[in-house]
Every structure is written in C-alpha cells, then in structure tokens.
Amino acid sequence: MPVYIAIDLGAESGRVMLATLEHGRLELDEIHRFTNGPLRLRGTLRWDVARLWEEIKVGLRKVALRNLPIASLSVDSWALDYVLLRRHEPLLRLPYNYRDARTDQTYGEARQRATNERIFNQTGVQFMPINTLYHLLADLKTDPGLLESADHFLLIGDWFHFLFSGRIAQEQSNASTTQLFNPLSREWSEELIGFFGLPRHIFPPVVPSCSRLGPLLDEVAEETGLGTGVEVVAGCTHDTGAAVAAVPAEEGARWAYLSSGTWSLIGVELAEPLINQAACHANFTNEIGCGGSIRFLKNIAGLWILQECRRAWSNQGNEISYEMLTQMAAAAVPLRSLVNPNDPRFLRPGGMVEKVQAFCRESAQPIPETPGEIARCVFESLALLYGQVLETIERLTSAPIEVLHIVGGGSKNALLNQFAANATGRQVLAGPVEATAIGNALLQAITLGHLESLTALRKVVRDSFSISAFTPADSAHWQAARQRFELLST
C-alpha cells in the first residue's frame, strides 16, 4: 500500500497532502494547510519562501506522527518565479512575484530587440509580461552583479526539491514555461540566452518529468521526523502539469482541459509541439507534460479578478465567502455586463472592483455595483472567454472538441461550470477539485513503478473521484452574448 506526500503550493494557499494508493484507488488526506500570497516590500511584490518552507516542515512533522511507511514526496507549485542561490547560500534574496511591475519595461524592450517570431520559434511560449525571461532581463538591467554572482536560478517547486534532496535540477514541465526553453530540442535555448546576454552558468540541468532526485537529506529527515528512505521525486513540478495529468479523460475521447483557479489554463494534449505562425499570432503556448506530451494551451485570467475584488471588500470590512458570492451571482440579472478578462488592466493587483466597473463604463454597458453583479459579470465573462479559446484551438489543431474537462479549485463552482457549458456549447465534466495534488501523488507512483502509464493514472482518477456533468442550456441568449463578447475582446 504505497503512501506518498504531495506538497501543493498555490498562489493563495499551500497544502501538505497524504496520498494512499490501494487496489487501484487513491485516497487523499489533507494534513496541513497554510496561507500564501504576495509579500509587499518597499514597492515590490515578493514571495516569502522561507515561511513556506517552515510551513511545509510543520506539515511533514504531522505526517511523521502517523508513523506510516512513506515511499516518496514531491512538490508542485506555480511556474515562472525563481530563487537565486550560490554555493552555501540557498537564498540570495526573496524571489519576486510574477505580477511585480518591474517587467513592464523589459517586456516591451525584449520584443523590440527580438521579433515575436524569433522568440516563439525557439520556445513556443505565449507572450506575457509575467514570463521568467522578462524577470531575468529585469535582474540583468537593475542588478547584473547579483545575477552574475549567482550559481543557479531554480523555479519555486524545484527550489524546494533542492532543499529536500540537495540536488540542483529543473524539471521539464517547469522549465518549459520560462520562454527560455526549446520544446523541440528539450534543452535551454542557447540562441535566446546568448542573444539577450543572460549568464549561461545560472541555467540548471533539466530533468524529465517523473525523475528520482535522490533520498531525503538526513538533516531534513531528522528535523521532520520522517526518517530515512523517503525518495524525493520531480513529477510535474509545474502545478498545471500535475493537474492535467489527473484529468479523468477516456482514451481516444475528443476532449480539452481547463485547469481552473487563480489562472485559467485551457488547452489540449498533443504528441508534438505546435509551433507555427498561426499559433504565434494566436498567442498560444507549448508546455511539456507527463511523459514528454505537449500541453498546447492558452493561459488566461482566471478567478484572480474575483479574488482581488473579494480582498478589496474584505479590507472594507465586508467579508464574503466564495459560496456566498456564488449565491449572489446566481440571483443577479443574467448577461447584463461583460468584461474582457485578458484586458491588461486586470493583471496587476489593486483597485479591481473599480477596474471592472471602469471597463463596463468605457464599453457603454450597465455598471455592476453589488458584489453579486460583479461576481456574475466575472463568471459569465470567463465562460465566454473559454468558448472563444476552444474555437481557436479547434482551428489551430484542425481537430473537434466535444468535451471540456474542468479540474482544480474552480471546478467546484457549479454556477461557473454551467456557464462554461452554456458558453462553449459543449458538455462540461467537472472534477476532481484536488487534481493538482492527485496528479502530484500519482506521478510519484509512475516514477516508483507503482503505475505503468498516464493511461493507468487516469483510470485511477476515474475510479477514485466523482465527476459532475453539465449540459449546455439557454443557447439563444448565450449566442447573443458571444457576439457582444467578440466586440469587447478585439
């Protein structure tokens, strides 16, 4: 009965999960949950990774008290952000948050120096100012000595693997998000590294998904009480890679996935990267998944907009749970006001309620005033964006999509799921909610030889967790809304 520890780090919270695989079924037990979020420090946005490390160890001590035979542990996290380290210094500074505004300038400058086509042909990655490339260029511009003096940079999840195992390695699914990795050669893009003058020595070795990194370091084993013999595994360190691995899709079905959370990542699985002019102009991305598969997807605004609105209401003394917001949204007038969730104004934190209202005012729509009206506006706009992206995927891949699998935290929102079915005109299958932690654990099982393949992994998911189905409805009203949305998003 293999037992695994899945450490799942998200932009709002982190969890230490215990996973048990027995008779083809997986059971998850949340051992420790802790908050996460941007740390505001002298006009910058950072991540307090030292506190996260302490919280993770709290969770591991709780696991140790259960006295179970732990086979392995693995970390997944958001992508893009990185820690700089040097020799015996595991943390040269608190890492920047991807939403920090320091890339506003380097994002434009880099695309002027090198054409979009040149960068896309090398990396197949969507253009966003949050990408690792533009943060490294910001370092090069403002503090080149620090970057030059570092031995390596490691993305967040891989840095925690380094703390656990002592091994410096960048897992492929994570590396492929940076816009500095070539998904065809499966190596760092020497062309772009040289062109932008980045110090080559800081780029760590890359390992494929489902790699053994080595045993848990003695000092960590002793401090947490886990003891020796626990293997540190890099499954898919990028949380989206882990979540997509856990999509409960049937073999041969015509399906797309939506990993729904702070971000919405919507796409399909391909055998090879799709890097051409049409994909570049549509601003899609090619990220590497389990077994070298390609996650051809669009990274779009997710529940971040509503999360920021909720934070603003909370600061005003109006605490509203997500459940209550959803109930308020259900009672609001349908399809009254829409926004383009990908509008650049929504990328940065702060003033989100006013930003939503300003968008509606500028586009001559009714201005949403109440939390319920704003929540409904966000939910409906996201659903319409899902439909728009699915149609683009079908055009780019020349393959029809019949089913949309929604996984992650957003999949438990039945109202949003129904809107997604209505807006896309496709059946929506929602769940599992804990797809990232499930994928994390079952990728460990593949690594250790307890499961044979990704197909076997997905059967375990189908056999272990319930899935909710949503059928399209109210097609006439949503068709009219699609036409309105097209005008707002051009």
Active-site residue set: 239
Q: Which residue has the tokens 């209550």?
A: 324
- Please say whether the dihedral angle defined by the alpha carbons of residues 152, 156, 158 and 161, taken in this order, is positive or negative: positive
Query: CA 175, CA 152: separation in Å to the nearest integer?
Result: 13
> Residue 286's beta-bridge partner residues?
296
Tokens of residue 441, six digits: 């654990």
Tokens of residue 223, six digits: 């401090």
Query: CA 282, CA 397: separation in Å to the nearest integer?
Result: 12
Question: Coil, strand, or helix at residue 71?
Answer: strand
Tokens of residue 31, six digits: 């051992």
Q: Which residues does 287 contact at the CB level (< 8 Å), separation at least 6?
A: 125, 173, 176, 177, 183, 238, 240, 241, 294, 295, 297
Which among 270, 221, 267, 275 has a CA at the least distance from the CA of 243? 267
Phi-psi region of 147 (alpha: psi -120 to 50; beta: other; left: phi over 0): alpha
Query: CA 19, CA 443: separation in Å to the nearest integer?
Result: 12
Which among 112, 110, 115, 44 has a CA at the least distance from the CA of 81? 44
DSSP 272: S
- Please say whether the dihedral angle defined by the alpha carbons of residues 425, 427, 430 and 435, taken in this order, is positive or negative: negative
Question: Coil, strand, or helix at residue 406?
Answer: strand
Longest dimension (CA), the chain: 64
Tokens of residue 51, six digits: 């506190």
Question: Coil, strand, or helix at residue 450?
Answer: coil
Q: Which residues does 240 contact at the CB level (< 8 Å), separation at least 6?
A: 79, 173, 259, 265, 287, 295, 297, 436
Query: ∠ CA 416-420-422 to the nearest 5 degrees?
Result: 115
| Ordered DSSP codes for 92-121 | SSPPBPTT-TTHHHHHHHHHHHS-HHHHHH
What is the number of other CB atoms lying within 10 angstroms of the CB of residue 70? 21
Q: CB–CB of 65/111 below 8 Å?
A: no
Query: CA 96, CA 301: separation in Å to the nearest integer?
Result: 20
Query: CA 304, CA 341: separation in Å to the nearest integer?
Result: 10
